[in-house]
Amino acid sequence: MFYLTTAIDYTNGSPHIGHAYEKVLADVIARYHRLRGDETFFLTGVDQHGQKVQQTAEKEGVHPATFVKRTTKKFIKLWETLGLEYDGWAETTDDRHKACVQGILSRLEKEGQLYKKAHSGHYSVRQEQFLSDKDRDENGKFGEEWGEVVLIEEENWYFKLSEHTEWLQGFLDSTPESVLPAFRKNELLKALERNSGTDLCISRPKERLRWGIEFPFDPDFVTYVWFDALINYVSFVGYEKPEGSDLPDFDSIWKAGGRPVHIIGKDILVPAHGIYWLCMLHAMGFSDEEMPSLLVHGWWNIKGEKMSKSLGNIVDPAELAEKFGVDALRYYLVRDIATGKDSDFDLERLIMLFNTELANELGNLCNRALNMSQRFIGGIISTTGELTEDDKALQQSLADCTATYHVAMDHFDCDKALEAVNRHVTHCNQYAERMKPWELNKDTENTERLQTVLQHLCESVAHCAVLLSPVLPEASAKLASQLKLESFEKLTLDDLKWGLLADGHSIGKPKPVFPRIQIEEVD
Ligand code: MSP
């Protein structure tokens, strides 16, 4: 089973374009794996506990439970709009999750992995963590990123993180796919050198924070939000589930068929996923082979700056989907960023890429191929003509496109996969310009040649519809239906051999699938 997860989004606000990017990226990768014929389980969800939620709910005068229900709905609605097809949904207030977190805490405590001690020090309210001198800036102050910093003394529960960091270092060194892309692993290794001696405080006293999962053996405390949230990756796929539970079978999802892949943003690699989570799994008894791969994506910025409420530059994905369509947004989100790197969110580029690559190039190819086939050859595909060098070159271009696409998608490089498809589309349009089917149609002597040329164009559209289906599920399904490609839903990448449209196949009528975005719509 190919098991893919995303970060679970904080529910103390509304979803923005960064959240949408990560979920669309994951959806594209999950759909690609289904297309490869891999059994796939895609889990996403929301992170509902923690101090920030408690504080925001207080400000709004509602109970945190009411507050998170409300914000969670916004996330679910957006994912529905964006066409996400997930198999599991994680909400950390779910009783099944709470029971799993408490089970893990009890076991770790019994096994001597947890201890209680008093600590006095500086605490960042915004980041919900104690700070050390290493967190001070060059002037000896705690910088703005920490928000309000207060001095507190309190008893808490600690996880013996330091007992696992030597193992972690060795695991990362010996496992190339542990963190992708490789440069992110180097960042993690450097952070690990600085961090190796400290343990992790995993509780909060109830007098300070009530909105969390209660410690099963010490009810004056709730669980630190990260310790709780990270466990979603196992709890919602049935880890140590009680008998009769409706959760899936853990072993067949987590342990059968390659490492699970966790898609996360660069900000939550160090320390949360790269250090805490991997060490937690190690303490829970997971072997090196059972450790997940962390796929770390970059950030969408706005004109080189971080998106933030205070700068007022937050991009709302629901608004964009409404204005430009879901396909345009999904396409842009995986087309204009290299997985792992940052990119600038730019509306003009969204429009430009849609209009040039989809409306002009692909749209033109589809219209031409289907329209001329209908008008000139009665919509019937014929595969019997003799092949010229041009035809063979087109078939080769398609084979190269599919091979490049396959490798790129296996490496999560959606932008490169889309570039490969676009190259083939351009090849087809140039082929059409050279073969001039509209001229061939003027003389009945050319009928067989005309049929071959149009067959090459229609066959290419059929392959492109399949290859683009992970990114553009709606548009691809429309193209497949216009081609009357009945097997479309069941096709896998292995079926992508020349001849999807058999001799005598009858295609349907073309209808534009990628209407140009008019510039006035931008304002
Ligand atoms: N709740 C934690 C994750 C817990 S996972 C066990 C969290 N939530 S978040 O809402 O702040 O972020 C969710 C995801 O969105 C993270 O992977 C984060 O990197 C990603 N993004 C947030 N802003 C982003 C951009 N501007 N661009 C791309 N992704 C960004 O962290």
Q: Residue ranges of the domains in the chain?
A: 347-521
Which residues form ligand 1's pocket by a CB distance below 6 Å?
7-10, 18-19, 21-22, 47, 229-230, 232, 264-265, 267-268, 299-300, 307
**Radius of gyration of the chain, Cα coordinates, nearest whole angstrom:** 27
Residue 145 Cα, ligand 1 centroid: separation in angstroms?
Answer: 16
89 three-state secondary structure: strand
What gap in Å lies between CA 139 and CA 267, rounded to an integer? Answer: 24
- CA-closest residue to ligand 1 atom 18: 265
Residues 21-50 have a mean pLDDT of 98
Token pair for residue 33?
A: 């794996």
Mean pLDDT of the chain: 96
Residue 346 Cα, ligand 1 centroid: separation in angstroms?
Answer: 20
In ligand 1, the atom with minimum distance to the C-alpha of 19 is 15
Residue 509 predicted with pLDDT over 80: yes
In ligand 1, the atom with minimum distance to the C-alpha of 233 is 6
pLDDT tens-digit series, residues 64-73: 999 999 999 9
pLDDT at 5: 98
- CA-closest residue to ligand 1 atom 25: 18
pLDDT at 310: 83
Residue 242 predicted with pLDDT over 80: yes
- CA-closest residue to ligand 1 atom 19: 265
494 three-state secondary structure: helix
Residue 522 predicted with pLDDT over 70: no
Residue 14 Cα, ligand 1 centroid: separation in angstroms?
Answer: 12
Residue 194 predicted with pLDDT over 90: no
The closest of 296, 295, 286, 254 to 164, measured between CA atoms, is 286
Residue 520 predicted with pLDDT over 70: no
- CA-closest residue to ligand 1 atom 29: 18
Residue 26 Cα, ligand 1 centroid: separation in angstroms?
Answer: 13
Residue 131 Cα, ligand 1 centroid: separation in angstroms?
Answer: 22
Give the global pTM: 0.96
Residue 299 predicted with pLDDT over 90: yes
Residue 277 Cα, ligand 1 centroid: separation in angstroms?
Answer: 16
pLDDT tens-digit series, residues 244-291: 999 999 999 999 989 999 999 999 999 999 999 999 999 999 999 999
Residues 9-35 have a mean pLDDT of 97
Burial (CB count within 10 angstroms: exposed 0-12, middle 13-18, buried 19+), residue 132 = exposed
pLDDT at 143: 92
In ligand 1, the atom with minimum distance to the C-alpha of 13 is 10
Residue 195 predicted with pLDDT over 80: no
pLDDT at 44: 98
CATH of domain 347-521: 1.10.730.10
pLDDT at 257: 82
CA atoms 43, 49, 52, 54: torsion sign = positive
Amino acid (1-letter code) at residue 36: R
pLDDT at 407: 98
What gap in Å lies between CA 193 and CA 127, rounded to an integer? Answer: 22
Helix residue spans in 175-269 (DSSP H): 182-195, 225-230, 232-235, 250
Q: How far is CA 237 from the centre of its chain?
A: 18
| Band of residue 132 on the pLDDT scale cut at 50, 70, 90 | confident
| Band of residue 309 on the pLDDT scale cut at 50, 70, 90 | confident
In the chain, % of residues over pLDDT 90: 91
- Range in 26-40, 194-208, 263-277, 446-460 with the lowest mean pLDDT: 194-208
pLDDT at 208: 87
Residue 309 Cα, ligand 1 centroid: separation in angstroms?
Answer: 15
| Band of residue 523 on the pLDDT scale cut at 50, 70, 90 | low
Residues 164-188 have a mean pLDDT of 96
What gap in Å lies between CA 3 and CA 22, rounded to an integer? Answer: 16
Residue 267 Cα, ligand 1 centroid: separation in angstroms?
Answer: 7
Residue 264 Cα, ligand 1 centroid: separation in angstroms?
Answer: 7
In ligand 1, the atom with minimum distance to the C-alpha of 265 is 19
The closest of 50, 62, 25 to 263, measured between CA atoms, is 25
Residues 22-46 have a mean pLDDT of 98
Residues facing 136 on adjacent strands: 142
- CA-closest residue to ligand 1 atom 12: 9
In ligand 1, the atom with minimum distance to the C-alpha of 277 is 6
- What does the angle CA 31 – CA 302 – CA 265 come to, to the nearest 5 degrees? 45
- CA-closest residue to ligand 1 atom 21: 18
